[in-house]
Copies of this chain bind each other. A is one copy, B any other.
Amino acid sequence: MSSTGLQPPRLERFRAGAQELGVAAALISSPRHVFYLTGYLPGERSPSFLLLRGPEMLLVAGESDRPRVAPGVEHDVEYYEDYSIRHVVDRRRAAARSLMDAAERLGLAREGRIGVEILDLPAFAEPALGSRERVDVTPLLRSMRAIKDPDEQDRIRRSVAVTAAGHAAARQAAVPGATELEVYAAIQAACVIEAAKPITFDGDFVSGERSWLIGGPPTRRVMRRGDLFICDLFPTVDGYWADTTRTFAVGASSPAQRELYEIVNRALEHGRKALRPGVRACDVYHEIRAVMAEAGRAQNFPHHGGHGIGLEPHESPMIIPGDDTELRVGMTVTLEPGIYVEGVGGVRLEDNYVITGDGAEAMADYPLGLEAKAG
């Protein structure tokens, strides 16, 4: 236990914010917020906790996560045994025990109110809180997360670069005769090579008549000349998500498809120009929708216009009619206008932006363009 280890600036800001809420101590239990505040990204198998009290901090982590814990916080960590060949280990039980020990050492429940993540708290962690009053610090964390620090923007850019590699592979692989699964495999391979490690990966991979259903996983469907293929990639590298989309014409495109593409392209450009500090998220949505409406395609644009990206694939602000959050410098958002027309195809284009003092900056410059095998 120490207050001399690495204290990332976000941790200091959180402490200040918590103090304003009258919170004397805090238990952080979601992996994403342990990561956000300490730089340690917990593995998926062993539960981790961050305990804070005044200037002191203590991490609880499984032994198998030791290589993941940043060297700077090494001496603030209480490790528990989460693997042994000598006896059968229940990781969650071991974590619960270790958490109780850590809470006692730190005096977590000694006095005052305790900050917790109400909706991310496992019931087994509650004994560590004693009978202290709980205060939900989730709104504080979300509000902090809305503005990305430079290191966070860099991580998102790294994930965006991975999607660019994926789109380049899709542009080559989406040819008549290929299955959606084969194209997906080529995309995934390119993303892994670019990231230089296995990554968590999700997305939409729909071609032909599947493209006007908006999204879905890849299937054995064989692509035909004249299909549109929507490639929506959301990978995460080092904890931060990107989310970009390109649409490719397989072999050739029809005038009707190119018309949809031009509308969506205009909507994306129009949306991008609307991004600036002080504008509300709902206003950006309406700007995008206005382009669709002008083209008589408002009814073919059924989904959001975009959303925040960061530690979660979808986070605040949501570019929807129902979110009046004001954009601020340092927010990172995706815009993703799309039109889906039965018998013609679906077109969606999506890029990621960081809000700047006078507008927004694209986080990568992978080309748009319907043509496959052109890149």
> Which residues on A are within 8 Å of B, measured CB to CB?
84-88, 90, 92-93, 96, 118-126, 181-182, 184-186, 188-189, 192-193, 196-198, 201-202, 217-220, 285, 303-304, 316, 318, 320-323
Name the CB-closest residue of B to A134: B123
Task: Tell me which residues across on chain B come within 8 A of A126, comparing CB atoms.
Answer: 123
Bound Cα distance A88, B319 (Å): 10
- What's the minimum C-beta distance from A229 to chain B, rounded to whole angstroms? 16
18 further A-B pairs in the complex, CB-CB below 8 A; given A88-B318, A188-B188:
A85-B320, A87-B322, A87-B323, A88-B320, A90-B119, A92-B119, A118-B123, A118-B124, A119-B122, A121-B124, A122-B123, A123-B126, A185-B188, A186-B189, A188-B192, A197-B217, A197-B219, A198-B202
Task: Tell me which residues across on chain B come within 8 A of A119, comparing CB atoms.
Answer: 90, 92-93, 96, 122, 124
A320 pairs with B184, CB closer than 8 A: no
Name the CB-closest residue of B to A220: B196
Interface majority SS (helix, strand, loop, mixed), chain A = mixed
Bound Cα distance A196, B184 (Å): 11
Task: Tell me which residues across on chain B come within 8 A of A220, comparing CB atoms.
Answer: 196
Bound Cα distance A85, B93 (Å): 40
A198 pairs with B196, CB closer than 8 A: no
Task: Tell me which residues across on chain B come within 8 A of A125, comparing CB atoms.
Answer: 123
Name the CB-closest residue of B to A203: B198
- What's the minimum C-beta distance from A205 to chain B, rounded to whole angstroms? 9
- What's the minimum C-beta distance from A162 to chain B, rounded to whole angstroms? 13
- A323 contacts which of B88, B96, B318 (Cβ < 8 Å)? B88
- A321 contacts which of B86, B188, B197 (Cβ < 8 Å)? B86
Name the CB-closest residue of B to A125: B123
A-B contact pairs, 26 of them (CB 8 A): A84-B320, A84-B322, A85-B285, A85-B303, A85-B322, A86-B321, A87-B323, A88-B318, A88-B320, A88-B322, A88-B323, A90-B119, A118-B124, A120-B122, A121-B122, A121-B124, A122-B122, A123-B125, A123-B126, A181-B196, A185-B193, A188-B192, A197-B217, A197-B218, A198-B217, A198-B218
Task: Tell me which residues across on chain B come within 8 A of A316, comparing CB atoms.
Answer: 88
